[in-house]
Structure 1
Amino acid sequence: MVVIRNEIELGPALRERRERAGLTQAQLALRANVSRAFVIDIERGRRPRAELTRVLAVMRALDSAITLVDHQAQTAEEALADLLGER
């Protein structure tokens, strides 16, 4: 699971998921029924206020979903343990 806390983290996460799926930006755009320019802008963080419907369409095309979690303060050690899967 990838935790995204802001709009800047969304683009790289979607790019990584697209590349892992073996899709080009054009293929993803076609599947999501959005323009390739939209996919490029999202991946580069140029659409911080992008329409949620279109972002969700891209995520569905990648077989991804959003999970809401409670925000909780963590120490650096706890965050590292989470990243390493040790908790």
Structure 2
Amino acid sequence: KEVAVTLRDKSDNFIDVFVGSGVENYWRLTGYYGEPKWDDKHLTWSRLRELKAVADMPWMVIGDLNEIMFSFEKEGGNDRPAHFMRAFREAL
């Protein structure tokens, strides 16, 4: 079955497409690589909010957002500051 993939937007950190066939069967896919620097994390969360505002349709975001939601997801190394995880959860 043929499926259309239409580029909606792209940047160095993401590619955003509409996927589907027919008017009723469209959904959205965004591949994202989040900012790795702690000082720039807010840029990822802001951009995700902007992307969300574009269309009200089923949406899947895949990739590496370079963050965890909860401290139990991390093994080893330094603890993640709670405000980074909180900002990530709020963005989602």
The two structures have a TM-score, normalised by structure 2, of 0.29
- Which is strand-richer, 1 or 2? 2
Larger RCO, structures 1/2 (Cα 8 Å, 6+ apart) = 1
- Which is helix-richer, 1 or 2? 1
Who wins on radius of gyration, i.e. which is larger?
2
The two structures have a TM-score, normalised by structure 1, of 0.30
